[in-house]
Structures are given as structure tokens and as C-alpha cells.
Amino acid sequence: MAIKFGRPLERLRSVPAEAEAPAGRLDLAIRPRRNRRAEWSRRMVREHALTTDDLIWPLFLVDGVNVRAPVTSMPDVERLSIDQAVRAADRAAKLAIPCLALFPYTDPSKRDDDGSEALNADNLVCRAVRAIKKEVPDIGVLCDVALDPYTSHGHDGLLRDGVILNDETVAVLVRQALIQAEAGCDIIAPSDMMDGRVGAIRNGLDGKGFGDVQIMAYAAKYASAFYGPFRDAVGSNAALTGDKRTYQMDPANADEALREVELDIAEGADMVMVKPGLPYLDILARVKDTFGMPTFAYQVSGEYAMIMAAAGNGWLDGDKAMTESLIAFKRAGADGVLTYFAARIAEKLKKGGA
């Protein structure tokens, strides 16, 4: 009996039964395992490669000097005082990590209903941006634009009578973005999911002479259960009243993500992001295939915590799981990944081990 191949292999010669080798041996012309036999061969035919150029390293900031405060729900992640954040930036530059993303832990005494600390030109994020750009000028700095690290209610926007106000919030976000740009931020990353905020921020930046500042839009950000450890890190978990489902996306929706991305591109986004990461690889792939834009994913705190917890319990190999998860983003089409594993995987790549 001949072995039959479907298209596109039908032109290949099949092996007739009378030509078979001794019993127990299946003599096939096509053996995919040949390419997997040796390490050099696997490297040669590898379809996707992870490099340090793919990494954005999120850092959590805290007031003080020489402070490294552990985030309990995120093993090996710490809140850093500005001097320690500068040290991390220097380390990132030496590891060829191109960009840092900064997120503040705001003391509860500085939180209020309107998130007014976000508009303080001398707030923690702005001071950190200035310090990092002074000491490590060639590294990129991305700043989150949203009010949740600063509000007493933990929401990304202004809250009135239980309702998040869209347009009023956008006006505040434009001012926040301008303050960060003035401090030296390279990439403005609005994560709030208010309608129209990308266009408003783009107009605001251009109008004030910041036309070269990039915007990476959190274009498809879902109302996810995977954000919990992040909220611990920035202090919004305890403050959060209710949930964010009226502005963040429903996890059941996929076509809506394409509409959201299309709007952000039309409003002037230079790059777009899908968040969370691994549970939404299908969305990531569709966004990249549809728009061909620089497309990023955020491997969020819950994803990181799951891998670290399983590794800490000896249930899986942490390094291998880390590497495999990051390659998954590349395979799905990501141009880069925001990941708390950035420094760890960069060290591994530097040694040629990833």
C-alpha cells in the first residue's frame, strides 16, 4: 500500500509497500525529525528568535532612598526608590534592554478622588524619569498614563456617583501626559481605556512641541483577573471600589479588540498593545495580521506570578517556562513584550542560554 500525501506534498514520491525495509522499520522519504536531530540544525531552521531587543522591563517605584521593597505576590520583584531605579536602568542598558516602563506606588496620603498627584510635575514618576535620563540617557523610558495609581478609589478615571467620566478623564490624561513628556519620557502609554484619549493626547503633545514623543496605546486591554499582583505593587488593590468592566474590555470579545485597535491607530498611536498576554495570544495574532503595526503584549503580573509560584514549588522548570512563554509572544506576532522577566531572560540571552 502506498503512502499518500495531501497537498502540497502530493508531488513527492510515495514509498511502495514492496520497497519497504525490514520489518519494524517505516521507510519514509519525509522525516521532520531530521531537522531536530542536532542543536546546530535546530538553530538553523528555527522560525522565531527572542532577543533583548524584544524586551521592555517594567519597574515599580517608591519614595525614599536606597529602598528595595519586595512585592509579596510577585517573587523577585521589588519596589525601587529612584536611586535604585537608576541602578536598574544602568543594568538594563548593559544588558541591551532598550526600554523601561515606570509605575509608581503612591502613598495613600497622596491619593485623592481626582488623582491630583498625577498632575504634580515633581511626582515620583517625573523625578524618576529625570534621574534615569540624566544618568542613562540612551535608554528608552515609557510612562503609564492613567489615574489608578493616584486615585483614592483605585479607578483609572474620574469617578462621580459610581460612574467613570470619559471626557473629563481624557482632559486630565492629556495634562498628565504633558507633564511626563516635559520630564523626558520617550513613550506615552495610555492604559486607561477611555474613548478618544489617544487622539487627545497626540494633539496635546503636538501642540506643546512634543511631536517626537511616541504613543504606545493599550489598545486592547481586557478586564482581567490577572492584574491582581500589579495592583498590590502600585497600591490600588486595597483602594479599588467595584470593578473596571465599564471601560476595560470583556474577555469574551475578539472582534471588538480590532475595532479598538483601529480607532487608536486612526487617532495617532505609533504602537499598539494587547493586555494581558498569554491568555490573549489569539487577539495578539489577529491584531498583528490585520494592521501590521508595531504590536506589543504585556506579560502581566498574574502570568508572572503563576510561573514563579509553580517554579518555587518545584512543579516546573522556571527558566524553561519563562523562555517558552516569551517565545510564544514572538510566535503570535509580537514585536516586543513588557515582562517582569526582562532582566532575567536578558542575562540568559547574554550567556547564549535561551
Residues labelled catalytic: 221, 275
Residues in the chain: 354
The three-point CA angle 32-34-38 to 5° equals 130
What kind and span of H or E run contains 126? helix 124-135
CB atoms within 10 A of CB 311: 17
Residue whose entry in the numeric block shows the C-alpha cell 510635575: 121
Rounded CA separation 206/186 (Å):
14
The H or E element containing residue 164 is: strand 163-165
| 56 close to 337: Cβ distance less than 8 angstroms | yes
What does DSSP say about strands 99-104 and 68-70: parallel, antiparallel, or unpaired? unpaired
Distance CA 166, CA 31 (A): 58
Tell me which H or E stretch contains 198.
helix 197-207
Cα separations in angstroms, 273 against 184, 185, 196, 249, 323: 22, 18, 16, 13, 20
- Residue among 335, 336, 222 nearest 279 (CA): 222
CB 199 within 8 A of CB 268: yes
156: CB partners within 8 A, 6+ apart? 146, 147, 148, 164, 169, 191, 192, 193, 194, 244, 247
Give the strand pairing for 295-299 and 336-339.
parallel
Residue 163 has which C-alpha cell?
460612574
CA 137 and chain centroid, separation: 22
In 279-331, DSSP assigns E strands to 295-299
Taking the C-alpha atoms of residue 280 and residue 226, their distance in angstroms, rounded to an integer, is 12
